Every structure is written in structure tokens, then in C-alpha cells.
């Protein structure tokens, strides 16, 4: 026992002397040894657990500490995933425009731009958002994935304590897929039935007409102006319809009143 204690004290002494020497000449190596032997005092990755794909898992409180204050790195989360945004301190550092996002998952604010009111329980509750907002979030996600280093996941709404996707996450991804599908189909329809040019004057009301580039779609046909109805017959727009599509059943189209069916321009008064 005595031999063991003597040996232990001797190795402690060697460690202390090594630490002093390293601390003076190589602070970085010392810092690494310190974190291995004594546990890190600062929070950077200190007490975080590993998820199922070897990424880190953050509680909300742990994420809060990565806010760039007192030299901490800056992490932000979007849709439950954490990114290291320290390289853009001029956006996210204390006192800069987007510091609001530092150390938290404020996904909703990425589309509402409400940077004043932060309610922790609601800040990442994205399921109530409408399709365009969901698409916008997906674009933000692509942006963060491509620009910054991904660090891990937040335990909570999107990921559970083992880092597995929650039902909420699955539901969100299904909504996102549907929103992208709808947007793709809408774009396809817009390519096939491009918008008309439109102008308004006091005397004549609305004037709609088609050209080879109306609706921003360059093409080798002009088309005829028609009222094109949205899915729920709610939003109506003026679309240029190709001759061969005038009898289509794919979408609901109607001619303008008092306008020749083969005219490339129509006028209609404001109701």
C-alpha cells in the first residue's frame, strides 16, 4: 500500500511539473491534456453526449452556452440541427444583426423575422407554418449545410435523447416533401401556361396581353389570354394558353368576357 501511495505521489509530481513546463511553452498542448485529465472547464463540446451517428447531442441549455459571449464559439440550430457559425461573428456575434439566432433554435424567426419576441417553447415549432414558409426553411437548411460545419442535434422537438428523429421531425419532412412537390408542379404549370402582361389605367381598367416573353418565359409561341383558376378556384391569374391547349382538362381556364377567343389581348373593367 505504501509503495503504491509513493508511486502515486511521484506520478502526480511528474504530471504537475510537466503541466507547468507545457503551460509556459505550449499552452495549446497543455489545454488538450487538461481537458483529458481534469475535464474541460469551458463548455465547448465539454459535456455533450454522442448521438447515433457520432454527432453531438445538445440540450437546449448546453446550446445556449455557445452564444459567442466570453470567447465561446457560436452555434445556432435550425430544424433541430446545430451548425458552427463562429466564422461569421460579424453576423452572429454579440451586438451584430443576427445575434438573436446564436445559441438557440429559433427556426420560426427565420421566416417570420420576429426577432423581438422569443418564446423558447414556440421558437422551433414550425408545423403551423404554411407551404411557402416551409420551403423557405428548407432553403435556409440547404444554406447552413453548405456554408457551415454541422455539429449535431438538439434534444427536443426534432430529435430524441438518442439522436433519433421524432414523430414531429418525420411529420415536418413529409410536409416539406409535399411543399416541394407542389412548388415543382406549380412551376411546371407556369412554364406551360405563362403569365400574361398586365397593365391598368383609369379609363379602360385592366389590359392583358400575351407576347413571346410574357410571364418571363421565353418561347416560340404567343398564346391567348385566359383566366386560369387555382386548385380551390380561389386565386385566378391571366395565363397565355397555346392553341393546342385551349380545350385542356388539366386546369380550369375560362375566356375573358367581351374578348374574341383568338385575340392576343383583352380588356376588362375593374368591378
Number of residues this chain uses to bind ligand HEM (CB under 6 A): 6
Residue 113 binds ligand HEM (CB under 6 A) = yes
Q: Least Å distance between CB 43 and ligand HEM?
A: 22
d(CA 94, CA 210): 52
Name the residue nearer to ligand HEM (CB basis): 88 or 180.
88
Q: Please report whether residue 100 would count as binding ligand HEM according to CB under 6 A.
A: no
Q: Of the ranges 7-15, 30-38, 83-91, 162-170, which one interacts with ligand HEM (CB under 6 A)? A: 83-91
**Nearest residue to 80 via CA among 145, 146, 165, 142:** 165
Distance in Å, CB of 112 to ligand HEM, minimum: 7
Q: Find where cell 453531438 sits.
A: 56
Is 98 a binding residue for ligand HEM by CB under 6 A? The answer is yes
Residue closer to ligand HEM by CB (options 58, 110) is 110
Picking from 131, 112, 231, the residue whose alpha carbon sits closest to that of residue 174 is 131
Handedness of CA 142, 148, 151, 156 (dihedral sign): negative
Q: Are 60 and 120 in contact (CB under 8 A)?
A: yes
Q: Measured between alpha carbons, how far is 153 from 155 in angstroms, rounded to an integer? A: 6
Provide, rounded to whole angstroms, the least separation between the CB of residue 76 and ligand HEM.
8
Neighbour order of strands in the sheet with 149-154: 49-50, 56-58, 149-154, 81-84, 75-78
CB of 88 to ligand HEM, least distance (A): 5
Contact 194, 228 (CB under 8 A): no
Judged by CB under 6 A, which stretch of 84-92, 121-129, 222-230, 233-241 contacts ligand HEM? Answer: 84-92
Contact 80, 157 (CB under 8 A): yes
Smaller CB distance to ligand HEM: residue 110 or 172? 110
Taking the complex as a whole, the smallest distance from the CB of residue 111 to ligand HEM amounts, in Å, to 6
Q: Is 110 in the site for ligand HEM (CB under 6 A)?
A: yes
Indicate the residue among 108 and 210 with the shorter CB distance to ligand HEM.
108
Burial 71-90 (b: 16+ CB within 10 A, else e): ebbbbbbbbbbbbbbbeeee
The verdict on 91 binding ligand HEM (CB under 6 A) reads yes
| Position among 55, 65, 84, 88 found at the interface with ligand HEM (CB under 6 A) | 88
Give 56 or 137: the residue with its C-beta nearer to ligand HEM: 137
| Residue 98 to residue 165: CA distance in whole angstroms | 28
Instruction: Enumerate binding residues for ligand HEM (CB under 6 A).
Output: 85, 88, 91, 98, 110, 113
Amino acid at each position: 500500500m505504501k509503495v503504491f501511495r509513493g508511486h502515486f505521489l511521484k506520478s502526480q509530481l511528474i504530471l504537475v511539473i510537466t503541466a507547468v513546463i507545457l503551460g509556459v511553452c505550449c499552452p495549446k498542448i497543455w489545454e488538450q491534456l487538461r481537458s483529458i485529465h481534469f475535464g474541460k472547464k469551458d463548455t465547448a463540446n465539454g459535456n455533450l453526449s454522442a448521438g447515433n451517428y457520432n454527432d453531438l447531442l445538445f440540450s437546449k441549455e448546453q446550446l445556449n452556452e455557445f452564444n459567442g459571449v466570453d470567447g465561446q464559439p457560436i452555434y445556432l440550430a435550425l430544424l433541430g440541427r446545430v451548425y458552427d457559425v463562429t466564422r461569421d461573428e460579424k453576423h452572429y456575434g454579440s451586438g451584430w444583426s443576427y445575434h438573436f439566432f446564436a445559441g438557440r433554435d429559433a427556426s420560426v424567426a427565420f421566416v417570420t423575422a420576429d426577432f423581438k419576441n422569443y418564446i423558447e417553447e414556440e421558437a422551433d415549432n414550425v408545423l403551423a407554418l404554411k407551404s411557402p414558409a416551409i420551403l423557405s426553411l428548407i432553403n435556409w437548411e440547404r444554406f447552413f449545410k453548405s456554408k457551415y460545419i454541422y455539429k449535431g442535434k438538439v434534444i427536443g422537438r426534432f430529435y430524441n435523447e438518442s439522436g433519433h428523429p421524432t414523430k414531429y421531425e418525420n411529420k415536418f419532412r413529409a410536409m416539406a416533401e409535399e411543399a416541394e412537390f407542389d412548388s415543382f408542379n406549380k412551376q411546371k404549370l407556369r412554364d406551360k401556361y405563362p403569365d400574361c402582361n398586365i397593365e391598368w389605367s383609369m379609363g379602360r381598367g385592366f389590359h392583358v396581353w400575351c407576347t413571346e416573353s410574357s410571364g418571363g418565359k421565353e418561347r416560340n409561341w404567343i398564346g391567348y389570354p385566359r383566366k386560369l383558376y387555382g386548385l380551390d378556384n380561389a386565386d385566378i391569374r391571366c395565363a397565355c394558353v397555346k392553341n393546342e391547349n385551349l380545350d385542356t382538362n388539366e386546369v380550369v381556364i375560362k375566356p375573358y368576357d367581351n374578348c374574341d377567343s383568338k385575340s392576343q389581348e383583352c380588356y376588362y373593367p375593374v368591378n
